[in-house]
A = this chain, B = another copy of it.
């Protein structure tokens, strides 16, 4: 049943109109099976029209990460073995961590809603139902743990470029863990690692993106949604976004494994919002002001502080 839904969705995506009989013939199933699958897809949120003498027609994809479309993407992915889908969950990151010991699989955890979404330093991340993308990626590279710091640099470019490409906006990367639009946060991500004796056992990368306008997120003065930034003329196609996103994750993850940061350094710096302005930086040791000079090969931020000292920062709150 699940495979049939995917195949039908794939046909609907390819053809403007296709009859139920044609679908049944092409997939070698009964018309009743086709009808049942179409009904299930509609219940999942797809707007499928039935036009007399023409057949079925996919009007537009659903306004949330659709499980059928996602499992199609994952089945084509060379990175991930499987997907875990939740209508609601405390946190995709928490789910991912609890599944780690079960196998050595790579997988993605996606939820329509998180009740306890969190960002860095255990800060709350609003995750209202069907208003955003809430996803955790579980990857298992066979590399020394010291290589992980560069991961965020590669992955932040993948996320930022995906949002730009799919929704026609222009994001900026706020080192170390946020994506911004118009000076406000549209996305936060968090890379957690479990390692064993100096070697990575699993990377668990949680990503939250505010996609649609929402009352909860809308009340936060420092937050913005893609929809607000894109304007009402842009059609918010989450299937397209997820396709772009999974593709970019694959590209940038492979680059992370095979290339030094210097190969993406220029792209990253151009996409960054922290250069050329006064920053307020809070580390566990305290707060200071300064200007970003560079990102080192290992992923440390180099800052010229107001006393003229060059400081290397690895994990910090950066305020513009």
Among listed A166-174, A195-203, A224-232, interface-contacting one: A195-203
Distance between A148 CB and nearest chain B CB, rounded to angstroms: 6
- Whether the pair B145, A148 counts as a contact (CB closer than 8 A) is yes
A198 to B284, alpha carbons, bound, how many Å?
A: 14
Residue of B145, B190, B194, B201 near A146 (CB, 8 A) is: B145
Interfacial chain B residues near A114, Cβ < 8 Å:
none
Residue of B176, B201, B298 near A197 (CB, 8 A) is: B176
Q: How many residues of A contact B (CB 8 A)?
A: 27
A283: nearest chain-B partner, CB-CB: B142
- Whether the pair A198, B149 counts as a contact (CB closer than 8 A) is yes
Interfacial chain B residues near A300, Cβ < 8 Å:
144
Q: Name 13 extra pairs, CB < 8 A, besides A145-B193, A192-B197, A195-B195.
A: A120-B197, A144-B314, A146-B149, A148-B198, A149-B198, A152-B197, A191-B197, A192-B194, A192-B196, A192-B201, A193-B195, A197-B315, A198-B315
Residues of A within 8 A of B (CB): 120, 142, 144-146, 148-149, 152, 176-177, 190-199, 201, 284, 298-300, 314-315
